[in-house]
Amino acid sequence: MKRNVVGTLIIIVFVALGILISSLSPEQNPESDALDIQVQQLLNKMTVEEKVGQMTQVTIDLILKDYKTNEIDEQKLRHAILDKKVGSILNVKEHAYTLDTWHKIIRRIQELAVSQTPNKIPILYGIDAIHGNNYVKGSTLFPHNIGMAATRDLSLVEKTAKVTAAETRATGIRWNFDPVLGLGRQPLWSRFEETFGEDVYLTSELGVAAIKAYQGTGPDQYDNVAACMKHFIGYSLPLSGKDRTPAHIPDNVIREYLLPPFERAVAADVATVMINSGEVNGVPVHASKYFLTTLLRDELGFKGVAVSDWEDVIRLHSRHHVADSPKEAVRLAIEAGLDMSMVPLDFSFYDLLLELVKEGTISEKRIDESVARILKLKYAVNLFEDPFPEEEAIKKFQLPEYKEVALEAAKASMTLLKNEGGTLPLPASAKVLLAGPAANNVTSLHGSWSYTWQGRDDTHYPGSTLTIKEAFENKVGKANVICHSVRSYEDERNFDTALLRSDAKNADYIVLCLGEDAYAESPGVIDDLTLDPRQQALAQAAVATGKPVILVLIEGRPRVVSAVTDEMKGILLAYRPASQGANAIVATLLGEHNPSGVLPFSYPKSTGDVLAYDHKHPERIREDIPNTYGDGGYKPHWPFGYGLSYTSFKFSKLKVDKTTFSVDESITLTATATNTGSKEGNVVVELYARDLYASVTPNFKRLKRFKKVNLQPGESKNMAFTLTAADLSFINAVKERVTEPGQFEFMIGEETVSVELLATGS
Ligand code: BGC
């Protein structure tokens, strides 16, 4: 192992910075100081009951009349707010409400809270506006994060998040349980579509962009909400791939891959965090003082509100068996560092925490810390000033331009994986047979969190949402489209191979729309990544007709399709493109849009061969006899960063301004991108770095910067990326973030340059 001089230096700089920041006297932050005093004054007036109530979050089910109505039950509401003093409510019952219904509900809740509670503390309402405010009728839904990550476009992530925040605030809600910052490195995981994919840097950049857009710059805006980074930490990497099952992740791996997006989000002042429902290394995260206090607060410096996930305090007893009673579960979670429990189906948390404080097991000082954070958040989103739906915010609901944003985002996410012999784009005059379960279905285009939790009930979607069939017919006329697919994904008629064969006789091309219907969380658990046999049979029947077949994949995670890909002439991956998805798919197939999406994950070829692009060198299998490499290691169907265009691009002249540099210097890499084809197009430029030798086995390569560039045919553009030694850092064996001196390679496309980072003093 090398002497780690540079690493030590970097740590010293970080520590010095920390001391400097913590030494700023409160007088230098007059605003936050005034807020602290205000919160403290309020806390002084509150009873223990009120404090415990503020830490209690229940679902709307507990205040509505019954399963069929969206009306508030006055008695239940009074019980929740006046008797149990709850501080927060979440969710919807069953499905999205109209804007009007939301306003009635929010107004009534707030009226009661600010008129009849002793300290007039408004309620903080929270919602899952995951890819648009999916729980209000008529809202605009955008591609899920996995598609947004394919765009590699920060400004689009910002734009979609801004609309989401505006449409959420318009309903009267000021807290969004988004974004998911877990990495999508386990494709079986049923929440893969909610992630920004497998890369640490990409997830961090896009996550921060979303958080900043959600939160805006101040509470007096009318289009911002508090964001919630989730789920801290390790949720996305369950060992079995099944939702909410145990993860086993060494601490240095957590710090290298999983922590940085959360670290960046904290630095961007994210207001809240939601905790991982699962366990990591044998400890449920909700009971882990190490994760919730040592790492999250002491080390990352998170100052916001930590909310549990659904029923997870109760589950410390009922599911994880680390607490021998529900009361012990509450004690464990609070001592670990939780501020608010999403109880959410009863008031047990309130009752038990009250007991614990009254008997002295949990100190009032401890709950004061949490309540202060919750009150600060309520101030930050302006609830004390005006807790009701605001006129200015309502004006920002359903603006016509939101559809344009949705179309732009969906188009930018389209990822072309195969185009044999330039089969695509299709001629507009061609007669097309559209087949498959996703051809005439809107729910698969949207996925989870779409007007209902599971997203599967199309009766709640706006009537204007198009299926691929409808969008195709709009574009080329009904006479040019043959399609017998029906809306219900699982309907047998969607898998009818005989019908497909006879329909194909009258078509020039077959566009086969396959993949997954919507699902969310545990109902989306699968045992096999392979696309199901009925869909594969449909693909084989399509190929057997002899007509050129284009496969359009609508899916939230990469389903293995290798058995049918060789015969496909074209393959377009659409992910979950949402409300304008059908238009985006058709525009791409017909060449009105030139695709530029690139994969945010490695698309596996086989279910047993799942590896991320930033794997380690020894992932290559080495045979003892005859002592050669038996296998290339990383061999996905399509690698991370892959995506075709209808034009061609070339990267050249990759240069670096220094061949050696020291830790206090930066380096600038320059390169040229050229459109060598005949169509205008966008290209994603990705800069990768490779640390050749390091004290911990280095990654094969790591993404360091990305940029999307628009180029006319024949046009060239130069670009520059500046990096510092910190950009080349990693977590060493003793869990410190260090940059070790030595040789590094930088790559853009096929071009490579080398740079040496000097040891201090060289
Ligand atoms: C999910 C969270 C979500 C919460 C509230 C849970 O089941 O894991 O991501 O925010 O429900 O709906």
Across the range 548-567, mean pLDDT stands at: 97
Residue 630 binned pLDDT confidence (cut-offs 50, 70, 90): low
Residue nearest to atom 2 of ligand 1 (CA): 309
The rounded distance, in Å, linking the Cα atoms of 59 and 309 is 12
The answer on pLDDT for 315 being more than 50 is yes
Task: List the structure tokens of 50.
Answer: 């009120």
Q: What is the pLDDT of residue 69?
A: 77
The rounded distance, in Å, linking the Cα atoms of 745 and 757 is 11
Q: What is the pLDDT of residue 11?
A: 41
Q: How far is the CA of 577 from the centre of ligand 1 (A)?
A: 21
Which residues, in sequence order, are bridge partners of residue 106?
Answer: none
Q: How far is the CA of 309 from the centre of ligand 1 (A)?
A: 6
The answer on pLDDT for 25 being more than 70 is no
Residue nearest to atom 11 of ligand 1 (CA): 310
Q: How far is the CA of 641 from the centre of ligand 1 (A)?
A: 30
What atom of ligand 1 comes closest to residue 453's alpha carbon? 12
* Chain Cα centroid distance, residue 760: 39
Burial of 73 (0-12, 13-18, 19+ CB in 10 A): middle
Q: How far is the CA of 377 from the centre of ligand 1 (A)?
A: 20
Which amino acid is it at 167?
E
Secondary structure (DSSP) of 636-667 = -SB-TT--B-SS-EEEEEEEES-SEE-TT-EE
Among this protein's residues, is 66 annotated catalytic? Answer: no
The rounded distance, in Å, linking the Cα atoms of 736 and 545 is 59
- Token pair 């929270």 in the structure block, residue: 126
Across the range 330-356, mean pLDDT stands at: 98
Secondary structure (DSSP) of 541-567 = HHHHTTS-EEEEEE-SS--B-HHHHTT
The answer on pLDDT for 33 being more than 90 is no
- The mean pLDDT value of the chain amounts to 94
Q: What is the pLDDT of residue 219?
A: 61
Cβ–Cβ < 8 Å for 589, 572? yes
- Token pair 């670096």 in the structure block, residue: 656
Burial of 420 (0-12, 13-18, 19+ CB in 10 A): middle
The rounded distance, in Å, linking the Cα atoms of 637 and 603 is 6
Mutate to test the pocket of ligand 1, among 61, 94, 177, 235 (most ligand atoms within 8 A of CB): 177
Q: How far is the CA of 133 from the centre of ligand 1 (A)?
A: 14
What atom of ligand 1 comes closest to residue 228's alpha carbon? 10
Mutate to test the pocket of ligand 1, among 57, 131, 274 (most ligand atoms within 8 A of CB): 274
What atom of ligand 1 comes closest to residue 230's alpha carbon? 9
Residue 29 binned pLDDT confidence (cut-offs 50, 70, 90): low
Degrees, nearest 5: CA angle 425-430-431 = 130
Residue 220 binned pLDDT confidence (cut-offs 50, 70, 90): low
The answer on pLDDT for 621 being more than 60 is yes
Letter string b/e over residues 598-620, b meaning 16 or more CB atoms within 10 A of that residue's CB:
bbbbbbbbeeeebbbbbeeeeee
DSSP classification of residue 175: B
Q: Is 455 helix (H, G, I), strand (E, B) or coil?
A: coil
What atom of ligand 1 comes closest to residue 178's alpha carbon? 10
Q: Single out the residue of 403, 393, 404 nearest to residue 140, CA to CA.
A: 403
Residue 30 binned pLDDT confidence (cut-offs 50, 70, 90): confident
The answer on pLDDT for 14 being more than 80 is no
The rounded distance, in Å, linking the Cα atoms of 175 and 608 is 40
Mode of pairing for the β-strands spanning 751-757 and 660-661: parallel
Q: Ligand 1 site: residues with CB under 6 angstroms?
A: 90-91, 128, 177, 230, 274, 309-310, 521
- Token pair 């930050």 in the structure block, residue: 380
Q: What is the pLDDT of residue 28?
A: 55
Q: How far is the CA of 91 from the centre of ligand 1 (A)?
A: 9
Task: List the structure tokens of 359.
Answer: 């008997």
The rounded distance, in Å, linking the Cα atoms of 97 and 92 is 8
What atom of ligand 1 comes closest to residue 180's alpha carbon? 9
Residue 535 binned pLDDT confidence (cut-offs 50, 70, 90): very high
Q: Provide the percentage of residues in the chain whose pLDDT is more than 90.
A: 91
Residue nearest to atom 6 of ligand 1 (CA): 310
The rounded distance, in Å, linking the Cα atoms of 679 and 97 is 44
Q: Which of residues 718 and 633 earns the better pLDDT score? A: 718
CA distances from 29 to 35, 36, 753 (A): 10, 11, 46
The rounded distance, in Å, linking the Cα atoms of 599 and 198 is 10
- Token pair 């960046």 in the structure block, residue: 264
The rounded distance, in Å, linking the Cα atoms of 463 and 483 is 20
Domains within the chain, CATH numbers bracketed: 1-45+647-762 (2.60.40.10), 53-394 (3.20.20.300), 414-589 (3.40.50.1700)
What atom of ligand 1 comes closest to residue 244's alpha carbon? 8
Task: List the structure tokens of 746.
Answer: 């930088």
pLDDT tens per residue, range 347-398: 999 999 999 999 999 999 999 999 999 999 999 999 999 999 999 999 999 9
Strand ranges (E), 302-441: 305-307, 341-342, 415-419, 432-435
Q: How far is the CA of 451 from the centre of ligand 1 (A)?
A: 15
CA-based end-to-end distance of the chain: 19
- Low-confidence winner among 16-30, 90-104, 740-754 (lowest mean pLDDT): 16-30
Residue 20 binned pLDDT confidence (cut-offs 50, 70, 90): very low
Degrees, nearest 5: CA angle 207-190-570 = 85
Q: Single out the residue of 335, 343, 337, 344 nearest to residue 373, CA to CA.
A: 337
Mutate to test the pocket of ligand 1, among 134, 309, 454 (most ligand atoms within 8 A of CB): 309
Cβ–Cβ < 8 Å for 597, 148? no
Q: Which of 309, 458, 517, 614 is catalytic?
A: 309
pLDDT tens per residue, range 415-470: 999 999 999 999 989 999 999 999 999 999 999 999 999 999 999 999 999 999 99
The rounded distance, in Å, linking the Cα atoms of 590 and 425 is 5
Q: What is the pLDDT of residue 26?
A: 38
Which residues, in sequence order, are bridge partners of residue 450?
Answer: 452
Q: How far is the CA of 299 from the centre of ligand 1 (A)?
A: 26
SS (H, E, C) 433-451: EEECCCCCCCHHHHCCCEC
